[in-house]
Amino acid sequence: MTTVKRIENILIGLLMIFAAVAIIIRPDEGYAFVVGILGLSLLVIGIKTLVYYFAMAIHMVGGKMILYEGIILTDLGLFSSSLATLPKAYVMIYLVLYNLIEGGINVMSAMESKKQGAPWKKKMGEGLLNIAFAILCIAMGGSVNIMVEVYAAGMIISAISRIAKAFRKTAIVYIQ
């Protein structure tokens, strides 16, 4: 990883922590923030897909589908961003699915490690935490505050992971 990339990761991580704390303190504005992020995400993904098509998928057999996907996603993103509010159910579904999938993979990974006698407790803990988040989202389905806090907690975990990665050694030795 280049030094610039390391600095970028640390700064983004710190910004994410700052944003997470902010939305915990002000949950009502936090909800609007989460909804805004989701709408913006679609737009960004759409534009990224278009850039990906013109940079890479244009060389690919059947690459035109990427172009169509980019156009549709960008259109959807623009449409979503124009909406004043997004039903809470969508945000809930996103949070529940994200945490369940992540948790499931972590738990399976931990079980595989355990079977082979490798360290597994940390991974299992992460997986159970993800699943607990998902259950919390379902149990507290009506509470905007809890939902925003779950989202903020996810952001903090991602931020810490991003900062930790910036300090990881990444070069291997080339011996002639």
Residue 175, burial from CB neighbour count under 10 angstroms (0-12, 13-18, 19+): exposed
175 interacts with other proteins by CB under 8 A: yes
Question: Considering the complex, what minimum distance in angstroms separates the CB of residue 149 from other proteins?
Answer: 25
Residue from 14, 15, 25, 63 touching other proteins (CB under 8 A): that is 63
Range 166-173 contact pairs with CB under 8 angstroms and sequence separation of 24 or more: 166/1, 166/5, 166/6, 166/7, 166/9, 166/10, 166/13, 167/6, 168/1, 170/1
Residue from 43, 66, 96, 163 touching other proteins (CB under 8 A): that is 66
| Stretch in the footprint of other proteins (CB under 8 A) among 18-26, 28-36, 111-119, 150-158 | 111-119
84 interacts with other proteins by CB under 8 A: no
CB closer to other proteins, 88 vs 165: 165
